[in-house]
Amino acid sequence: MLDNLKKYDIILASNSPRRKELMSGLGVDYVVRTLPDVNESYPDTLVGGEIPEYISREKADAYRSLMRPRELLITADTIVWLNGKVLGKPSGREEAIKMLRALSGKSHQVFTGVCLTTTDWQKSFTVASDVQFDDLSDEEIEYYVDRYRPMDKAGAYGVQEWIGYIGVKSISGSFFNIMGLPIQKLYVELKKL
């Protein structure tokens, strides 16, 4: 599959273990490179899915000077969007607890922006998933935060972890998008190249 990609050396520039896992499941040859530090700020005119799409392009631009001809770069960014506000990665235990209390009993959206870059062109897209959380008790929230330390995850949760098992009532859209990479949409976009 995806024989059209043989003309490219595919690079996933990401420090996220979930993105590596999902990319590996696609069955194409690729290498992982460390992403240089990226300033993840964005213009305050952006909303929802525009935000991670913008940041995915910023991540690509941070890596671009290292690129060679033939290389196809993949970068991505995930945010949780609750009541018109971004929940990024929590700064510590207290913020993680606060975020999960805010998500408890409500539905929110997860947006992942993906950017495909070569030395000649750049293309980006966003995928949205809706997630409905059941009511979470303080005991459940603290158990999860202390045991799983979700400080590396947008919105302070991993849908693929215990909190997703016990707390997520329903999802509309791609599960893998919530985990950090909309792999089905990425496959469709790669097929077009």
Ligand X SMILES: Cc1cn([C@H]2C[C@H](O)[C@@H](COP(=O)(O)OP(=O)(O)OP(=O)(O)O)O2)c(=O)[nH]c1=O
Q: Which residues bind ligand X (CB under 6 A)?
A: 14-16, 18-19, 35, 59, 76-78, 80, 89, 110, 152-155, 157-160, 178-180
Report the phi/psi class of residue 22: left, alpha or beta, with left for phi > 0 and alpha for psi in -120 to 50: alpha
Distance CA 157, CA 81 (A): 13
Which positions are catalytic?
77
Nearer to ligand X, 56 or 190 (CB): 56
E-strand spans in the chain? Answer: 9-13, 31-33, 71-82, 85-87, 107-117, 122-133, 168-172
CB of 152 to ligand X, least distance (A): 6
Contact 109, 172 (CB under 8 A): no
List the one residue out of 66, 161, 166 whose CA is nearest residue 119.
66
- If the CB atoms of residues 1 and 101 are measured against ligand X, the closer one turns out to be 101
| In the complex, minimum distance from the CB of residue 106 to ligand X, in angstroms, rounded to a whole number | 14
Q: Whose CA is closest to 151, among 96, 71, 76?
A: 96
Q: Is the Cβ of residue 11 or residue 69 nearer to ligand X in the bound state?
A: 11
- When the beta carbons of 14 and 174 are compared against ligand X, the nearer one is 14
Cβ 80 to ligand X shortest distance, Å: 5
Token code pair at residue 166: 């016990």
